Structure 1
């Protein structure tokens, strides 16, 4: 089961020029009923994902300032520009260090340092999950704890790779 479904968190996704570059992550099944349920899945050419389609879907949730989690590829390009746009809009932005990457690994720590300096909260997926839940007594805890356990080794590998950069 997906985190968004367990905690009822809306998911917004974009693909960078799908016709030229292909689907970002076909494993997510962004457009299938079995995949991650998205509020918006838009194709884009802009580097930021804060595009009109996403803004419209986001505002349909009530339009107020929100806490937003950003994950994605090319930390120094799309993740950075999306985060900066969201910060400019007044949202609190969490960037999950183990949920971003780059084709040039040297870019990741520089991007994360810049985003932290701009006001984003740079943290890890596990830390954010437990902060989000706040209490082991909530009904969703078992589902989230199961996800953490299932992906612990891949998360650890990702964090170890980041520590070497």
Structure 2
């Protein structure tokens, strides 16, 4: 099971025109929003990336607002792990369980997940918080990532697994977020 002390949320390339053109774009963005807010309450760090922002634009405004104060890791490689800066920041958090979200499932999310697994991280693919421009590529990416050894999860499943108990202020705050 994942715990707040061992987990990091990774948001991959939720940018500009790409973000609006993926399958179930609004649902995916809303789920990533919920994850970011829940992780803030539970003190789970968030790391986010942008693939060639000069061409694809920056992270969509609602998520960028939630992540204010943080600078995205810019990358050119499809895998986040191809960026030395990303790997430096990831290692600095000293977290083994990585909740993976973002775009596109069959390219950047897929390649990042495989490399994270190769580096010995436990990858938890948040299947309702990843997407591609087509449902077929989204599903193919999910299947291949799971086959490589990632654990599938959902927004609600991951948040309640991190929370563990249905009491206290954190539970009340997170319950409101999940119900939105």
Of 66, 77, 80, the match for 1:49: 80
**1:4-19 → structure 2 map (5 Å cutoff):** 4-19=39-54
- Single out whichever of 35-44 and 52-61 deviates more from structure 2: 35-44
**1:56-95 → structure 2 map (5 Å cutoff):** 56-62=88-94, 66-95=96-125
Looking at structure 2, the residues matched to 128 and 94 of structure 1 have their Cα atoms a distance apart, in angstroms, of 9
Question: TM-score when scaled to structure 2?
Answer: 0.74
Looking at structure 1, the residues matched to 142 and 66 of structure 2 have their Cα atoms a distance apart, in angstroms, of 29
CA contact (8 A) 2:38 2:159 kept: no
Check if 1:108 corresponds to 2:143: no
CA contact (8 A) 1:11 1:40 kept: no
- Single out whichever of 68-77 and 108-117 deviates more from structure 2: 108-117
Instruction: Give 1:38 shift.
Output: 6.8
If you compute each CA radius of gyration, which structure gives the higher value, 1 or 2?
1
Q: Which has the higher helix share?
A: 2
Q: Which runs of 5+ in 1 are unaligned?
A: 151-165
Look up the SS of the partner of 2:66 in the other structure.
coil
The equivalent residue for 1:146 is 176
Alignment: residue pair count: 144
Q: Which runs of 5+ in 2 are unaligned?
A: 1-35
Looking at structure 1, the residues matched to 69 and 97 of structure 2 have their Cα atoms a distance apart, in angstroms, of 17
1:90 to 1:37, Cα distance in 2 relative to 1, 3 A: farther
Question: TM-score when scaled to structure 1?
Answer: 0.80
Q: CA RMSD in A?
A: 1.8
Looking at structure 2, the residues matched to 122 and 39 of structure 1 have their Cα atoms a distance apart, in angstroms, of 27
Looking at structure 2, the residues matched to 43 and 98 of structure 1 have their Cα atoms a distance apart, in angstroms, of 24
Looking at structure 1, the residues matched to 127 and 143 of structure 2 have their Cα atoms a distance apart, in angstroms, of 11
